[in-house]
Amino acid sequence: MKDSIEKKQSQRQSALRQLGIWTAIWVASQALVVFGGLLVWPDSNLIKIGTLLLNVVLGLKMILANRHLFKKLDELERLLQLEALAWTLGLSMVVGLAYSTLDIINLIPFDAEISYLVMFMGITYSISLIINKKRFE
Partner 1 sequence: MKNKIRDLRSTKGWTQEDLAKAIGVSRQTINAIEKGKFDPSLPTAFRIANLFEETIEGIFEYREED
Query: How many angstroms separate the CA atoms of 39 and 108, rounded?
Result: 31
Selected binder of partner 1 within 43, 46, 75, 110 (CB under 8 A)? 75
Stretch that binds partner 1, among 4-12, 84-92, 100-108, 109-117 (CB under 8 A): 4-12
Please check whether residue 33 is in contact with residue 56, taking contact to mean a CB–CB distance below 8 angstroms: no
Share in percent of the chain as helix, strand, coil (round to 5): 85, 0, 15
The least distance separating partner 1 from the CB of residue 3, rounded to whole angstroms, comes to 11
Closer residue to partner 1, CB minimum distance, 3 or 43: 3
Binding site for partner 1 (CB under 8 A): 1-2, 4-5, 8-9, 74-77, 79, 133, 135-137
